[in-house]
Amino acid sequence: MEFSALEIASFLEGKIEGNPEVKVETLSKIEEGKAGSISFLANLKYENYLYSTGASIVIVSNGFVPKKEVTPTLIYVDDAYRSFTRLLNHANHLRSKRKGIEENSFINESAKVGKDVYVANFAYIDRDSEIGNDVMIFSNVHVGQNVKIGEGSIIHSGVRLYPDTVIGKNCIIHANTVIGADGFGFTPKEDGSFEKVPQIGNVIIGDNVEIGSSCTIDRATLGSTVIRSGVKLDNQIQIAHNVEISENTVIASQTGIAGSTKIGRNCIIGGQVGIIGHLKIGDFVQIQAQSGVNSNLADGAKVYGSPAMNAADFRKSYVYFRNFPEIVRKLEELEKEIKQTIKE
């Protein structure tokens, strides 16, 4: 699809300097720009490419003044990087947008399907489910009974949504993720075996949530496992029953969160973090990769290690960890000298 500088500037609420009628059909890095492409300049160390790029349009931040004459049409915006990201998302949405129900899909007659929905071949939508407007459901997706998917959400191939799951608006769920499977609930019996505890709750996911591929989010034992609006989850994350994750928290790959833990808003959690159950993690907490968290964390805490401790203290301690064998050797030598002195 082609777009003029005028159309792009209108979308980004920017100001044009140059030819408003020039058109582009693709996006590019500024150093690789060719005619018919649009790029951006956010980091001034790339400024020299602006004077040699073949891109037809370049997005720049307000206040930028070129040192030389430029060939591309410039679009001035508040933040060039954010505006280009917004443009990328818009272009990606237009490119991937599909409509229609493919013939080898199955939709139960009791399900409610909104306008401009796409359901691919071999997708299955069970009874009493509700699919909002502009939702896209790709092949081999299973939507269980009484599932609700909000407007504009995208469900990629192989996703499994167990019964009673609720997905908000404009969510993206990537391939092979499972949402709403039973939580890991078993009670020991006198003979040493385990009896399953029924998991009769559900999973509720807010708006604008993105969940990576091959994640598992378990349904609650009672009540709901809750992922609130704006949360971003990387690939291969395990979230156990009755966990709650508040707004705009981001979690990197291979993290595991045990049951009933509550995580605050705007937290940043690194990869391969383990968090035990029934904890309260405050707002704006940062947990570095491979940390093991076994106690509550206050708002704004920054922790590292296993068991996790204050990140600054951990880094100081790590100097001693590395030199620990040498420290022990010196202590042993000192002990010998003291004993020898006492004998004398």
Give the whole-angstrom CA distance, residue 105 versus residue 279. Answer: 42
Q: Active-site residue 174, yes or no?
A: no
Q: Which structure tokens are listed for 142? A: 């299973």
Q: Catalytic residue, from 142, 156, 174, 241: name it.
A: 241
Q: Which structure tokens are listed for 181? A: 């499977």
Contact present, 238 and 216 (Cβ < 8 Å): yes
Vertex 276: Cα angle to 274 and 282 (nearest 5): 90
Q: How many CA atoms lie less than 13 Å away from 57 in the CB half-sphere? A: 31
For residue 29, give Cα distances in angstroms to 21, 34, 246.
Answer: 21, 9, 35
Say which residue the tokens 């505006």 belong to.
Answer: 83
Give the whole-angstrom CA distance, residue 295 versus residue 293. Answer: 6
- Tell me which H or E stretch contains 9: helix 5-12
Q: Is 104 exposed, middle or buried (0-12, 13-18, 19+ CB in 10 A)?
A: exposed
The residues, any chain, with a CB within 8 Å of residue 145's CB and separated by 6 or more, are 126, 127, 128, 129, 163, 164
Contact present, 55 and 39 (Cβ < 8 Å): yes
The residues, any chain, with a CB within 8 Å of residue 150's CB and separated by 6 or more, are 132, 135, 167, 168, 169, 170, 171, 207
For the packed helices 324-343 and 311-322, what is the interaxial angle rounded to 10 degrees? Answer: 60
Q: Give φ, ψ of 182 to 5 degrees.
A: -60, 140
Q: Which long-range contacts (CB under 8 A, 24 or more apart) does 43-51 make?
A: none
- In this structure, how many other beta carbons lie within 10 angstroms of the beta carbon of residue 181? 15
Q: What amino acid positions are annotated as catalytic residues? A: 241
